[in-house]
Amino acid sequence: MFTFIARRVVSALGTLLLSSVLVFLAVQALPGDVATQVLGKDATPSAVAALREKLSLDQPAWERYTEWVKGAVHGDFGASLVSGKAVGGEVGQYLGNSLLIALVTVLFAVTGSLVLGIVAGLYRDRWPDHLISTASLVGMSVPEFVVATVLVLAFSVALPLFPAVVLYGPGATTGQLLPAVWLPAASLAIVMAAYIVRMARTSVIDVMASEYVTTARLKGLSSWRVVTRHALPSALLPTLHVIALNVAWLIGGVAVVENVFNYPGIGKLMLSSVQNRDLPVIQAIALISAVVYVLCNLAADLGAMALNPKLRTRGGRAR
């Protein structure tokens, strides 16, 4: 168990380093740099040269990268090239706002979709299944920004229940953001839930058709007990990885949805940083995304171990 985790942590560190190199190279490959992007049409040669010198963009790329790595190892992620603020604090603020959305989304999407997926699996080919399967197919096919727009039109314009956009900056309090969290979270949850519903349904159907479930039934166990004690743990196994991947996907999906709602989260920060070629901020966000991916997958693996009967029985309770 511990060697397993240790191995995963080492490979995770490798992944992080690799992703930082890739992101750095990708940003270098983008046309333009901070100076030209921020100045836009005012990017006269002398203005660009002055800004480049001020931001030390005139140094070679590899020198700037090694400088960044040196700082990052010591926990110093540098300062934003655009705002001049320390990246750690700035990204942290936006990240906190995004976590609020993520939390609500995951809570609703995961519990809701598991319940729906299981119901669909248990009522296979009957009307609850048809209803849920069709709805989840639609949710899967419609892009999140369309879902977001439809939700805005329905619940902020036609029926003014929620704000259409967030008018506060990144420093908004949780109280200010709370009314604005629901529509973005719903947009993300609808798209995310669709995959989990499909996966949960399929595995429930597989498990319910398996021999040990038939055996359990023959032994006279109640349907409720068969489903909760015997079928579900096995059915959840494959679903776990889908959930993990979807939670990790959130960090990308959030970029589009946050922009539609002007929500001051990490997705919006990422978009503006990429537009501005604000490398230290992009690096920090990429690092966070990589950490989220690694953690989600690690959590899924550990969860799978916990649910796997073979692993559960290994510890002394052998019959």
Which residues in the 52-81 window bind another protein by CB under 8 A?
80
Residue 57: DSSP 8-state: T
One symbol per residue from 255 to 294: x for binding another protein (CB under 8 A), - otherwise; what is it? xx--xxxx-x---x--xx-xxx-x----------------
Residue 15: DSSP 8-state: H
CA dihedral 106, 109, 112, 114 (to 10 degrees): -90
Q: How far apart are CA 52 and CA 43, in angstroms?
A: 11
**Residue 286, CA atoms < 13 Å, CB-side half-sphere:** 23
Task: Tell me: does residue 196 bind another protein (CB under 8 A).
Answer: no
136 in Cβ contact with 115 (< 8 Å): no
40 or 75: CB nearest another protein: 40
CA distances to 231, 254, 281 from 288, in Å? 36, 14, 11
Q: How far apart are CA 55 and CA 53, in angstroms?
A: 5
57 or 200: CB nearest another protein: 57
Which residues in the 81-110 window bind another protein by CB under 8 A?
82-85
Q: How far apart are CA 133 and CA 193, in angstroms?
A: 11
Q: What is the widest separation between alpha-carbon atoms in the chain?
A: 84
Smallest distance from another protein to CB 186, Å: 15
One symbol per residue from 230 to 259: x for binding another protein (CB under 8 A), - otherwise; what is it? -------------------------xx--x
Smallest distance from another protein to CB 313, Å: 48
248 in Cβ contact with 239 (< 8 Å): no
Which residues in the 125-184 window bind another protein by CB under 8 A?
143, 145-146, 148-150, 152-153, 156-157, 160, 163-165, 167-171
Smallest distance from another protein to CB 83, Å: 4
| Interacting residues with another protein (CB under 8 A) | 30-32, 36-45, 47, 50-51, 80, 82-85, 143, 145-146, 148-150, 152-153, 156-157, 160, 163-165, 167-171, 255-256, 259-262, 264, 268, 271-272, 274-276, 278
